Each structure stands twice: as structure tokens, then as C-alpha cells.
Amino acid sequence: TVLTQSPALAVSPGERVTISCRASESVSTGMHWYQQKPGQLPKILIYNEFSQAPGIPATFNGDEAELKFTLTIEPMEGDDVATYYCQQKLTLWTFGGGTKLELK
Amino acid sequence: EVQLQQSGAELVRPGTSVKLSCKVSGDTITAYYMHFVKQRPGQGLEWIGRIDPEDDSTKYAEKFKNKATLTADTSSNTAYLKLSSLTSEDTATYFCTTDIVWGQGTLVTVSS
């Protein structure tokens, strides 16, 4: 399964961020989203499309429509500057290429 | 609390092999599939493969089938990743993860 993510984004503080991930085929085991800041480990944000991981604020939400998955962040804050990856965990794992989110 | 402790940074010559370790503490390794993920400098995450320490079964991403070998030692609660025929393309940080918990990563630098 190939996961294609939107390119880098630059968003102003307080705005809504939408990061997309398109799957090449059905992801029956769910889509997951990670955040990675420079020099840090990936951190799980959303699992199984919609569920927030423990400790993750309600500003992070996941959604899906057929083969298109989205991660929204609202409102955008400076601490959200990071690279975001979608991931599927069928028999073999696949990560999307990552979307680098920056402040405008 | 499960923790993963990975081995230290490696500087290796092209054409050689390297074996990285990932020790599980706080639980038995057989409770998890152990996955390994590659991240080249400034690049994204690539899944290498996973091992089930319960029965040593493995699955690999197609790209890494001739590059990586995963093993596990239940007596020491440790998983291993061996990388062979190293080239500059293998210079990266390698993470082990149970899916929920991640090791701190091991930086492998391939240079003559």
C-alpha cells in the first residue's frame, strides 16, 4: 500500500491545518498519524483514523473518506511545527512521505 | 512501563555488516512484535520489517529483503537488526519499536 501525503504547509497561528494522506488501496486495519519534531522520536497522535492517543489534545483530529485520510489541527500553534506522517499497519507497515508543517 | 534501549552509534566501512540491538525492559519481549524503522538524515520514516520473538517469524518490506535480517533472543529480551553490504545509502538512524513504544534510535554512519 502506497501512502501519498500533501507537500509542506505553512500556516498562520490560530488557523486550521489540514494534512492529507491518500492510500493506493483499502486500509482495512486503519490509518494512524504520527508527529515528529527535529531530533525527537515519532509520537502517535491518532490511531484507527479517529481515535486520539492518550495525552493528545482535542486540537488534533482524524477523518477519512474512502481512500483519503486527513489530520486536522485547529487552532495551529507554534508547538505544532513538525513533520506529520500517516501510517497503515496491515501485514506490512507503510508510512507516508511526511508533511512538513511550518508557521507562516 | 515498557522501555526499549538501543545500542550505540556505529561508524562502519562500506561493504561490511553491522548488527544493532534493541533491549526490552519492563516486560517480556515475546509480548510484542518488534519492528525496525529507518530514517535517513532529513528524510522520512521507512519500515524495514518486524519479528515475532515468540516464534522468530519475520516479515520484511520488499526493499529490505536482501539488506536486513531480524533476530531475537528471548533469554536476553533483545531484538537485533543486521544490515549487510553497507553503502552510503544505509547511513541513517534506525529505530526499534513495539508500535506504541520507540527506542531512542541508533545512528549508523557508513564511511571509508
Tens of pLDDT, residue by residue over A24-68, are 988 877 889 999 999 999 999 998 888 899 899 999 999 998 899
Nearest to B59 among A42, A91, A95 (CB): A91
pLDDT of residue A33: 95
Which pLDDT score, from 0 to 100, does residue A85 have?
Answer: 97
A84 at interface of B, judged by CB pairs closer than 8 A: no
Dihedral sign from CA coordinates of A44, A49, A54, A55: positive
Mean pLDDT calculated for residue range B75-90 = 98
Looking at A15-24, A88-97, B52-61, B73-82, which range is the least confident one?
A88-97
A37: chain B residues, CB-CB within 8 Å: none
* Residue range A73-93: mean pLDDT, rounded: 93
Minimal Cα–Cα distance from B15 to chain A, Å? 28
Partner-chain contact B104 A92, CB within 8 Å: no
Query: By the CB < 8 Å criterion, does A33 face chain B?
Result: no
CB-based contacts of B23, cutoff 8 Å, min separation 6: B4, B5, B6, B76, B77, B78
In whole angstroms, what separates CA B26 from the centre of its chain?
A: 19
In DSSP notation, A11-29 reads E-TTS-EEEEEEESS--TT
β-strands B34-39, B45-52 pairing: antiparallel
Whether A98 and B45 lie within 8 Å, measured CB to CB: yes
Residue among A94, A101, A87 at smallest CA distance from B63: A94
Q: Which residues of B touch A6 (CB under 8 A)?
A: none
What is the DSSP secondary structure assignment for residue A92, as one 8-state letter?
S
